[in-house]
Chains A and B, each alone.
Chain A
Amino acid sequence: MTFALDYGELFEAGLFSLAAPEKRSLHARWLSALNSHHRRLCPEYDRICAVLGDGVPVPVRLFKELDLMSIEKGAVAKTMTSSGTSGQRRSRIYLDNDTSARQTKALSRIVSDFTGERKRMPMLVVDAEGTVRNRSMFSARTAGIRGFSMMGRDVTFALRDDMALDWDSVEAFAERHSGERVLVFGFTFLVWANLVEEARSRGFSVEMEGVLVHGGGWKKLADRAVSPAEFAEGVRGVLGSGLRPCDYYGMVEQTGSICMECECGRLHASVFSDVEAVDPATMLPVPFGAEGLLVTTSLLPTSYPGHVLLTEDVGAVLGEDDCPCGRRGRYFEVHGRQKGAEVRGCSDTYEGR
């Protein structure tokens, strides 16, 4: 008898309470059901498994090259696209109503665990309202803001449509919610460059309390030689010492099941997700602590075969079940994008752009 994908069960399981053996058996059962679901409904995925093996990770780049879905075209409720640099093809992720709702629900569960609030919090978005107004484009940034906004109330934008800092808006928000815990959300680089640095240079500051959830990667900040400690200090200086910065790792290809940074500075996989670092030459796991290419699991998507993905990020799984923050499951760190290939060959000349 085949196991039905009963998400009720999954949402009842503790987010961070399963010990490794329990989580492993739960995930084995779910992944096997998800594999057969996607193999039955997505012919491309079925052929990939036939050649490379059942349940092998699908490279995120494949979503740029192929339209991979496990639903009828008519059931597509929305299409997510990756931000992708100009000139590159964007990924296309097809969501039906079920997958989309499930992702939203999981996201809210995970974020609550880190904010410590079950109810909606006043929310300051470090971005422009114009970024979300565009309905036709569902980029990673738009999706992130929309997803998180559902968990907020009095959603206020900190930047104008030209991405300049709207300090009046920030100050008014801080005043309105003085004494309350707030949720600040934004992309790491925007938080730093467009809010922290800008406010600092103009001598602005406010006192807020709560959590700053930020994501999108450190690459641009590392280029500017900004360390996580410096980032945290800058944030506290401008937005208040009671605001805890909390990084997260997520991607449009697996919306919802994000991994958030705990009080000990580690990213945690929840019951909905898992992470493995693999050696790109073999695609086999490397030991805890060793750097590898990250393979991420999400039990949420049923509308497209994105339950096991090969990312293009390198990082290391640091441990399992024993983080001092008390959360069980794996915790890890992300080191950045895999370095691009430098390749010889004669079909590219320097006349090319």
Chain B
Amino acid sequence: MKDGSDAFEGVEFVAGDPGVLAARPVRAFAKGSLSLLADVSARLMGDDRARRLPDVVSFAFWCRRAHLEALAKGYAEAPLRLGRGLALHIAPSNVPVNFAFSWAFSHLAGNVDVVRVPSKAFPQVDVICTAIGKAMAVAGDSRSAFVRYPSDGAATESLSLVSDVRIVWGGDATVARVRSMPCPPRCVDVAFPDRYSVALVDERAIADLDDGGLSELAAGFYNDTYLMDQNACSSPRTVIWLGADGCQRGRFWRAVRRQAAEAYDLQGAVCTDKYVRLCADAASGLVSERASFDGRLTLAPLAEMPGDLSDLRGYGGYFYEVEAGTMEEAIGSLGARCQTIVYYGVDPEAVREAVVDAGCAGVDRIVPVGSAMDIGIVWDGFDLARVLSRVVEAR
């Protein structure tokens, strides 16, 4: 029995209670886990407030029963797997629903979960935690708790002492700080540090698009980038053009710009930041003279393909672009920090082969334009249902 009596000092419970520390892990993809998530989904789908929040809707859609059952089919060995124990989740402060996915993955893996939710008062957090709290009460489930405490609170440290898994989302500094806190010897850390993403687009494929197809592509790209201020790990920062003929990309950018003009809430300070970045990039010789400032969509063509694209971090609609002669050249510039390649007009299997053949240190995800933000149980190269559970072998 774990002694966690002091672990919750200074902590506010948004859902669940301190009794969570007495709960036991269960089998991966246990019936009860699926049912609880499905109930949460149904509750959110039936909640007017939730239905007005697109990110809550996508979470609810993800954990609907049909999807969970389909997902479970990919884990035929699940009955032989057991949750690792107590999982402590540190979620990012400025992505409202990330905590819910983190919890859902771990809950499916069979863990007992303590989830620290964003301290910012996002309506999403409130809506989701209310639904989970009700579903838990109905099911008599006490395997999860959702907590809030200030960033300088000691709870991460005290909870670490009794955790079997720590799931840390956020910047490198957060990951390093949590890692430095003592934990039991068998504790497993799953860290999601700073990453960046790129888009890989074959310019010839754009030539084949009619206006409708082009605006559909632009809408997908808008969702991949502007929707999260182009500041999520999965948002492309650089577009690498293959099959460059130079004529089609203007069409593409004009279409993206139209989307941004229609839908993006452009803040003055974001424009200023982009202007400062463009000046700095010009001063250092990074961008070519074809670059020009536009507060809505700033294009920064690179003077040449850099050895590593990791440090190119525009945000809020600041796109670097560069041509690559071959797939190999494109992939050669992606370091360990590269998470997602968002593609268009390119065969994803061919990209995967090139990444694997090159022994690339990064690139965990290759997804079509429009899907960059679709979080899944396989994330950052981890199959979380497996990483967060253990095999109980008998022979």
CA distance A295 to B232 in the complex (A): 32
Contact (Cβ within 8 A) B296 A66? no
Scan residues 90-118 of chain B and give those whose CB is less than 8 A from a CB of chain A.
90-95, 98, 116, 118
A320 at the binding interface (Cβ < 8 Å): no
B-contacting 9-mer, from A40-48, A175-183, A252-260? A40-48
Contact (Cβ within 8 A) B269 A345? no
B292 at the binding interface (Cβ < 8 Å): yes
The CB with the most chain A CB atoms within 10 A, among B151, B229, B282, is that of: B282
Contact (Cβ within 8 A) B275 A283? yes
CA distance A342 to B232 in the complex (A): 14
Residues of B within 8 A of A350 (CB): 92-93, 116, 118-120, 151
A to B CB contacts below 8 Å, 15 in the list: A44-B284, A50-B282, A52-B278, A59-B275, A59-B276, A279-B295, A282-B295, A283-B293, A310-B275, A346-B98, A349-B169, A351-B170, A351-B177, A352-B151, A352-B173
Top 8 nearest A-B pairs (CB, nearest first) are A349-B170, A345-B231, A281-B295, A350-B93, A51-B282, A44-B283, A280-B271, A341-B269
Give B280's nearest chain A residue, CB to CB.
Answer: A65
B371 at the binding interface (Cβ < 8 Å): no
CA distance A300 to B129 in the complex (A): 60
Q: Which residues from chain A sit less than 8 Å from chain B, CB to CB?
A: 44-45, 47-48, 50-52, 56, 58-59, 61-62, 65-66, 68, 279-283, 293, 310, 312, 314, 338-353
Residues of A within 8 A of B228 (CB): 344-346
Contact (Cβ within 8 A) A345 B95? yes
Instruction: Scan B304-317; emit 1 where CB is below 8 A from any A CB, else 0.
Output: 00000000000110
Residues of B within 8 A of A283 (CB): 275, 293, 295
- What is the CB-to-nearest-CB distance from B375 to chain A, in angstroms, rounded to a whole number? 10
B384 at the binding interface (Cβ < 8 Å): no
Select which of A51, A68, A310, A340 is within 8 A of B291 by beta carbon. A51
Residues of A within 8 A of B276 (CB): 59, 61-62
- What is the CB-to-nearest-CB distance from B287 to chain A, in angstroms, rounded to a whole number? 6
Told that A350-B93, A350-B120 touch, could you supply 12 new A-B pairs with CB distance under 8 A? A48-B283, A51-B287, A66-B280, A68-B283, A280-B271, A281-B295, A338-B268, A341-B267, A346-B95, A346-B170, A347-B92, A352-B170
Contact (Cβ within 8 A) B93 A352? yes
CA distance A316 to B280 in the complex (A): 27
Residues of A within 8 A of B285 (CB): 47
Residues of A within 8 A of B287 (CB): 51
> Known interface pairs A350-B93, A350-B118. Does A342 touch B275 (Cβ–Cβ under 8 Å)?
no
CA distance A29 to B229 in the complex (A): 41
CA distance A314 to B272 in the complex (A): 12
Residues of B within 8 A of A312 (CB): 272
Contact (Cβ within 8 A) B289 A51? yes
> Known interface pairs A59-B272, A281-B295, A283-B293. Does A348 touch B282 (Cβ–Cβ under 8 Å)?
no
Select which of A59, A65, A66, A293 is within 8 A of B268 by beta carbon. A293
CA distance A342 to B270 in the complex (A): 8
CA distance A45 to B280 in the complex (A): 10
Contact (Cβ within 8 A) B269 A340? yes
CA distance A102 to B151 in the complex (A): 50
Contact (Cβ within 8 A) B267 A59? no
- What is the CB-to-nearest-CB distance from B64 to chain A, in angstroms, rounded to a whole number? 24
Contact (Cβ within 8 A) B173 A341? no
- What is the CB-to-nearest-CB distance from A51 to chain B, in angstroms, rounded to a whole number? 4
Residues of A within 8 A of B170 (CB): 346-349, 351-352
Select which of A61, A281, A310, A347 is within 8 A of B266 by beta carbon. A281
B174 at the binding interface (Cβ < 8 Å): yes
CA distance A280 to B295 in the complex (A): 7
Residues of B within 8 A of A340 (CB): 269
Contact (Cβ within 8 A) A349 B266? no
- What is the CB-to-nearest-CB distance from B260 to chain A, in angstroms, rounded to a whole number? 11
Select which of B177, B232, B269, B282 is within 8 A of A338 by beta carbon. B269
CA distance A342 to B283 in the complex (A): 27
CA distance A339 to B94 in the complex (A): 18
Give B272's nearest chain A residue, CB to CB.
Answer: A280
Select which of A58, A68, A349 is within 8 A of B171 by beta carbon. A349
Scan residues 243-293 of chain B and give those whose CB is less than 8 A from a CB of chain A.
266-273, 275-276, 278-280, 282-285, 287-289, 291-293
CA distance A281 to B273 in the complex (A): 11
> Known interface pairs A344-B229, A345-B229, A353-B152. Does A48 touch B282 (Cβ–Cβ under 8 Å)?
yes
- What is the CB-to-nearest-CB distance from A89 to chain B, in angstroms, rounded to a whole number? 13
CA distance A341 to B317 in the complex (A): 13
Select which of B92, B275, B295 is within 8 A of A346 by beta carbon. B92
B156 at the binding interface (Cβ < 8 Å): yes
CA distance A281 to B272 in the complex (A): 8
Select which of A56, A343, A351 is within 8 A of B156 by beta carbon. A351
CA distance A279 to B90 in the complex (A): 40
Contact (Cβ within 8 A) A345 B268? no
CA distance A348 to B193 in the complex (A): 10
- What is the CB-to-nearest-CB distance from B136 to chain A, in angstroms, rounded to a whole number? 24
B194 at the binding interface (Cβ < 8 Å): yes
Give B269's nearest chain A residue, CB to CB.
Answer: A341
- What is the CB-to-nearest-CB distance from A342 to chain B, in angstroms, rounded to a whole number? 7
Residues of B within 8 A of A344 (CB): 94-95, 228-229, 231-232
Give A340's nearest chain B residue, CB to CB.
Answer: B269
Select which of A48, A52, A346 is within 8 A of B94 by beta carbon. A346
Give A345's nearest chain B residue, CB to CB.
Answer: B231
Select which of B94, B266, B289 is within 8 A of A343 by beta carbon. B94
CA distance A310 to B279 in the complex (A): 11
- What is the CB-to-nearest-CB distance from A259 to chain B, in angstroms, rounded to a whole number? 21
- What is the CB-to-nearest-CB distance from B135 to chain A, in angstroms, rounded to a whole number? 25
Residues of B within 8 A of A62 (CB): 276, 279-280, 283
- What is the CB-to-nearest-CB distance from B195 to chain A, in angstroms, rounded to a whole number? 8
- What is the CB-to-nearest-CB distance from A350 to chain B, in angstroms, rounded to a whole number? 4
Residues of B within 8 A of A68 (CB): 283
Give A66's nearest chain B residue, CB to CB.
Answer: B283
- What is the CB-to-nearest-CB distance from A303 to chain B, in angstroms, rounded to a whole number? 17
B233 at the binding interface (Cβ < 8 Å): yes
> Known interface pairs A52-B278, A59-B276, A280-B295. Does A345 touch B315 (Cβ–Cβ under 8 Å)?
yes
Give A281's nearest chain B residue, CB to CB.
Answer: B295
